[in-house]
Amino acid sequence: MNCCRKQSSSPLGFGKELWAPGLAGRAGAGMGSVGNERSLCSVLVDCFPCFRTQPLGDELPELIKHGRERIEQTIKASGSRLCSYAERVVFLMDRSRSPDKNTQPSTPTDNINLGPSANPNAKPTDFDFLKVIGKGSFGKVLLAKRKCDGTFYAVKVLHKKTILKKKEQNHIMAERNVLLKNVKHPFLVGLHYSFQTSEKLYFVLDYVNGGELFFHLQRERCFREPRARFYAAEVASAIGYLHSLNIIYRDLKPENILLDCQGHIVLTDFGLCKEGMEQEETTSTFCGTPEYLAPEVLKKQPYDRTVDWWCLGAVLYEMLFGLPPFYSRDVSQMYDNILHKPLQIQGTKTVAACDILQGLLHKDQKRRLGAKTDFLEIKSHVFFSPINWDDLYHKRITPPFNPNVAGPADLRHFDPEFTQEAISASITRTPDLAASSSSASDAFLGFSYAPTEEDI
């Protein structure tokens, strides 16, 4: 059935229904996701047609109790994989009998130089656009080669009209600001340029073609503990760095975790990030991806940085067992599980693995692992005792899996649905920025960015 097909995202952070260049389609991988945000309502409607004719209630408890009642509040939800997971459930159930063989809008910070709207150092005609490697609700992610030096990039191209229509310009600008801060961390996708034309916004990002973590997980069903530990450590390092900048990520999931050509993690899609979050500060925006929402978010209570550690626990659990910890095809049941069902850990996992899952997936955010000293608590947990964190940061640890890509043109980890699509001619030309309507132009003032000598 169609609704049970996983929607693709893009490798560069297209999010929701796309794959990202690092996210090259849910069956492929590439760059990340483009900030394709969908309301929870639309996710339910897509996966469960019965919701089309029966409205939902305002409060979450009513959603849990009456799954078909109406929710009028639109929530930012980064694309659910409820249906795609259903396709894996039968297989996982068959395997369960045998032993485990694989033991809100933010404002720019003062230290960010937003610069002019136009960027004289970059324009569409500077690139040869080779392939579509991801799609999102706002645009596409393209593999591009810069003409002057032959360097490959993932270029995320967004349509201004769509962004303005959905009133998402603040999130796009927040994503840009976070991207500018990522350049100093090895496991975060980096921004090289951003520029705009009268109709479109362009993010020129690191090109990553080792595939989405979800793609590999879907193919292999689950990972052995050492491999899951390696990925979880690199992700935790990236999240810890964002927290050190007072940024919470809020959308950690396998689709937003890419592998580079060597097999290291690259975290992408920063459309739901929240800046300015001091250690004790909380926020209350209801956002994230349904399968990974923390209990406090579902309860619409104020939450803090520990939501990211909950998501890390959910992703680690999924890597070890093949499905998110409280997954149910019935959305209301899944939410009830997240809120009330005790964590169940089956199979022959180590004591350390069980303990860190219990700590990260603690329903009380004040008692969750990471609540006291944030990333330091994660690093010091016995589960990560085999990890030398300095070696990990400097990529001196050989990844447990090599994607075996032949080079930048190797698109084996990208969904052919994207790579076979024709590239629109409008993406490659450089229209006069002055032709832009004043509203579209003013909405993205300061979007453009070019690195200074100091940045380089």
Q: Any idea which residues carry the catalytic annotation?
A: 251
Instruction: Say which DSSP state 366 is in.
Output: T
Between CA 98 and CA 323 the distance in angstroms is: 17
Q: Cβ(144)–Cβ(154) under 8 Å?
A: yes
Q: Is 253 annotated as a binding residue?
A: no
Q: Number of helices (H) and strands (E) in the chain: give both, helices first.
A: 16, 11
Q: Is 85 in a helix, a strand, or coil?
A: helix
List the beta bridge partners of residue 129.
144
Q: Please name the helix (run of DSSP H) or strand (run of DSSP E) that holds residue 454, with its range, or none.
A: none
Between CA 431 and CA 428 the distance in angstroms is: 10
Between CA 27 and CA 8 the distance in angstroms is: 7
Q: Which of 114, 139, 208, 200 is nearest to 450 (CA)?
A: 114
Q: Distances in Å between the alpha carbon of 226 and those of 301, 318, 411?
A: 35, 14, 27
List the beta bridge partners of residue 196.
201
Q: What is the dihedral of CA 242, 291, 288, 30, to 10 degrees?
A: 60
Between CA 61 and CA 232 the distance in angstroms is: 32
Between CA 316 and CA 160 the distance in angstroms is: 36
Q: Which residues make up each annotated binding site? A: 165
Task: Return binding residues for ATP.
Answer: 165
